[in-house]
Structure 1
Amino acid sequence: MDFDMVCNSKKCRKRLSGFAWVTSCSHIFCDEDGAREFNKSYSCPACESNLSSKLDIIRIDLSPSEQYKSMVLAGQRPEVVLEVSARAIAFWTYQVHQERVFQEYTINKTKDRQNQMEKYYEQVISRTQSDLELLKSEISTTRKELENSEKRLNEVSGKLLERNRQYQKLQSMYDSLRRRSLSVNNLASSVQSNFSAHTFPARDQELTNFKGTDGRSDARLSPAQRKYSTRFLGVMWHSS
């Protein structure tokens, strides 16, 4: 079974090659990490077990030479060779098991994070959809209000145009009447001034004669006075 052991340090987790440090508590560390940790204290960095014995920590070669393989168990009885091999296989099996447990923990942790993220984003999406529906409703309401405002604006604009036309009509009538009134007043002033210019110095007596008792209103007026008095009376009658 192809399996590459990794450093049991949580901060390292490096695939092992070359030399490594093995402990009696069945843990293995890369050469750099093991040397650094075991120079500080004789305790396992993974489980904190006490490693005070001389053979509790050994440095091994993960790629031993053929000569080393030939000599490492040479002269040992078969039962010793088998026991050493069994313990070596047990160490390797423990490392495989620990790695599987660690990977399962990592996977479960990743799944938990994934589930949390999915729930979070589902809530975000739900809130976003709610906000979107609310905005759509507000847009629809605003659109209806805008349409109603446009209708009212068109109605008010139509009424304003009609009132402007009425105002222009009334203004035109007013200007016409004003010009007519000014023309009549100017004509009356002109007649009055002309009449006053052609009367004689004794006009009070003549006016008295004009109202004489013989019933003839202009019996004693001169032709010029009769002409202007007739014009003046005609203007006054039309203006009234």
Structure 2
Amino acid sequence: MRCNACWRELEGRAISTTCGHILCNEDASKILSNDGACPICDQVLSKSLMRPVDINPSDEWVNMAMAGISPQILMKSSYKSIMFYIGQKELEMQYKMNRIVAQCRQKCETMQEKFTEKMEQVHTAYQKMAKRCQQAEQEIENLSKDKQELQEKFSEKSRQAICKYPVIVVFLILNWDT
């Protein structure tokens, strides 16, 4: 059995509530000194609604407690005991599931932070690469302009040379194959 407030393993004596929960002595004292509400179901508790119980009663105590009780009452009591135990196991499973969910949420938040950080790094790298591409395109454009200017200058110089030495050019063209 575990305390329904702090979930520590119960040993020796504990406090049972009329709302069907079990508490360690420390948590029962805290509840009575604070707001008096059950930590599981929020039922208002008072000292009269809480009873001390032995977690592992001796066989002698069990025999004495059951002596003289009719089988119908024992069956009813057994049923309530089993239902209490099932309820405790359900609460424990819920507590464990809540812990697992909290751990998963924490891991998801950590992964989200890492993902966001990586995405920012990728975005920064993309922006740098886009800027480099833009610079390369500008450089290609400038080189194309320079090439065009050089071609125009070469064409102009070639025309000037042809006009300056037309006889040599005609001679060269005529004797080209020989």
Do they fold alike, i.e. is TM over 0.5? yes
1:156-194 Cα deviation digits (max 9, x unpaired) = xxxxxxxxxxxxxxxxxxxxxxxxxxxxxxxxxxxxxxx
Q: CA deviation at 1:70?
A: 1.4
Q: 2:90 aligns with which of 82, 94, 97?
A: 97
Instruction: Please tell me the residue identity of whatever aligns with 1:114.
Output: K
| SS at structure 2 position matched to 1:72 | helix
| SS at structure 1 position matched to 2:83 | helix
- Asked if 1:61 corresponds to 2:54, the answer is yes
Q: CA deviation at 1:92?
A: 0.8
Match of 2:108 in 1: 115
- Asked if 1:29 corresponds to 2:23, the answer is yes
Q: 1:14 aligns with which of 8, 13, 36?
A: 8
TM-score relative to the length of structure 1: 0.48
| SS at structure 1 position matched to 2:51 | strand
Distance 1:118 1:41, change over 3 A: closer
For 1:89 and 1:81, the matched residues in 2 are separated by 12
- Asked if 1:128 corresponds to 2:121, the answer is yes
| SS at structure 2 position matched to 1:15 | coil
Q: CA deviation at 1:48?
A: 2.6
Residues 1-240 of structure 1: pairs in structure 2 closer than 5 A: 5-9=1-5, 12-39=6-33, 43-51=37-45, 54=48, 56-132=49-125
| SS at structure 1 position matched to 2:14 | strand
Instruction: Please tell me the residue identity of whatever aligns with 1:35.
Output: S
For 2:16 and 2:128, the matched residues in 1 are separated by 65
Query: In terms of mean alpha carbon deviation, does 118-127 or 78-87 score higher?
Result: 118-127
1:135-160 Cα deviation digits (max 9, x unpaired) = 6788999xxxxxxxxxxxxxxxxxxx
For 1:110 and 1:77, the matched residues in 2 are separated by 49
1:216-236 Cα deviation digits (max 9, x unpaired) = xxxxxxxxxxxxxxxxxxxxx
Identity, in percent, stands at: 24
Unaligned 5+ runs, structure 2: 135-178
Instruction: Please tell me the residue identity of whatever aligns with 1:22.
Output: S
Instruction: Please tell me the residue identity of whatever aligns with 2:32.
Output: F
Structure showing greater relative contact order (alpha-carbon pairs closer than 8 Å, 6 or more residues apart): 2
Query: In terms of mean alpha carbon deviation, does 130-139 or 70-79 score higher?
Result: 130-139
How many residues get paired? 135
For 1:73 and 1:102, the matched residues in 2 are separated by 33
1:12-35 Cα deviation digits (max 9, x unpaired) = 221211111011111111122213
Instruction: Please tell me the residue identity of whatever aligns with 2:78.
Output: S
Q: CA deviation at 1:59?
A: 0.4
Instruction: Please tell me the residue identity of whatever aligns with 1:78.
Output: P
